[in-house]
Structure 1
C-alpha cells in the first residue's frame, strides 16, 4: 500500500508503514491464508494434463492462481505443493466424469458431491513435477515418459514396490530377470549386491584410467602452459609476418596502378595537344 496521494490519518506518525496502520499485508489478497503457510501465486502448467472432473484437455503453459504451500523437503530442498481448480469446470464433476466413475463402481452421488482440486508437487529428487490428484498427464504430452510416467507415480503412491530406476536402465537383462519380481528374496538381494559391486569396480577402474590419462596430459600445468604460450607466440609472429608481406605487396600494387593511371592521363593529354596543333595548322593554310 503506497503512500502517494493517500489520506494520512491524524494518528499516523510516520514511524510505521501504512500497511501496518491499515492492518493489511503488502501482498494484499494473495496473503490471506499466510497464517496457514499458503501463498497465492501464479502457476504455469509444466506439461499437458487431462482434468479428471470434466475430462477435458488442458495445454502446457496454462496459468492458474494456485495455492502454494511447503509440504516437505528432500534433504535441504523444500517440496512445494500447488493446488488449483480447473478453469473449464471449476472443480465440479461433469456428466462424462460421473459416468466414467460409475463404470469403475463408484457411487455417482459421492462423485457429484465431490470437489476436484488439481494438486501438483515438485519432485527435487528427479527434478520434475508430479500430479497428486485432480488430473492426469496427457498421453499426447510429447515429453519423455508421458502417461507411463504418471502411471508409475500412481503406483508409487499406492505403495507398490519397484526396482531402482538405475537398475532398469542397465543392459544386463539377466540381472533384471533375476531381481525383478522377487525383491524380497534374500538370494535376489545377494545377487543384486554382487551386481552392484561389479559395476562399482568397473566404474572405479574407468575413473582411474581417466585420471591417469588426465595426469599424463596435465601433470605439470606450468610446463604445458609454457609450451602453449611458446606455440602461440610463434603463430602470432608468423601471422604478423604474413600480414606485413601482404601490406607491402598491396602498397606496391597500388603504386604501380597509380603510375599507370598517370601515364594514361599524360598520353591522353599529349594526344589532345597534338590534335589542337594540327587543327590550328589547317586553319592557317586555309
Structure 2
C-alpha cells in the first residue's frame, strides 16, 4: 500500500535519496493517519464485526459484518500465535467496546462495552454433523484402525437416520406440495409419449404406402421379434451352408482338374517315348516271325523232296 502511494509523487528539489525514501525524507508514514499511534503500539485498521452484538451504551443491535475503524493492539501470545485486541467506537453513541482474539477456540471474545447475541447451541442436541476436534483429527490421520472403526460407526449412524430423513422428506412433500410442478412434470411426460406415437404413425403410414396394403398394423410383440430373429438366423445358416458346399465343390473340381492335367502330362510323355519303345519291342518280334517263316519254308521244301 505504501509503495503504491509513493509512486509518481512529487519529489521536491531539495530531496536527498540518501534519506532512504520520500516518506522518511518528509517524516511521514506510508499508512498516513492510520499510523498516528504506531509509537504506542497501536495500528488503526478496518475491523468487521464477527457476530451480532448489543451495545451497552445505547442498547442498540449491531449486526454481523458492520465495519469500524478499530485500534489494533498486541496483548500477548498463545504459543506461537499473537493475541490481538481491537477497540472501536459505536456508530450510534459515544460508547467504546473492545474485542480480542481467542485462537484456542477459534473465536472472538468481547472484553468490555458490549454483549454477544447468543445464537449458539450444541449441535449434538439437534443431531447436526459435529466437526471433529483436533485430537480426533490427529488420531484419524495417524491410526488406521481407529479411522476404520470411526468410518463404520458413521455408516451405522447414517443408516439409523435414513428412516427419519425419509419421514421428513415425506412430511415436507405433503405440506409443501407444489401442484404446478407436478402438472409440469406430467405434461412433459405426455408430450414425449405424444411425439413417440406420432413418429410410429408416420412410419406405419410409410410402410403401408410402400407395400400397397390397406390393413391395420398392430404393435410389435416380443414373440414376433424373437421369431423374426430365429428366421433370420436360419436363413443366414443356409446361406453359409450353401456357400461352404460351393466352396467344397470348387475345391474338388480344382483337385480333379489338377489330376487330369497330371494324367495328360503323363500321356504326352509316353507319346514322346513311344518310338524308342517300339523299336526295342519290334526287334525280337520280327526275328521270331522270320524264324517261323524260315521253318515253314524249310518244312515245305522237305515235304516236297520226300514226295518226289
The structure with more radius of gyration: 2
**Higher relative CO (CA 8 A, sep ≥ 6), structure 1 or 2?**
1
Report the TM-score, using the length of structure 1 for normalisation. 0.41
User: Given the two structures, how large is their TM-score scaled by the length of structure 2?
Assistant: 0.38
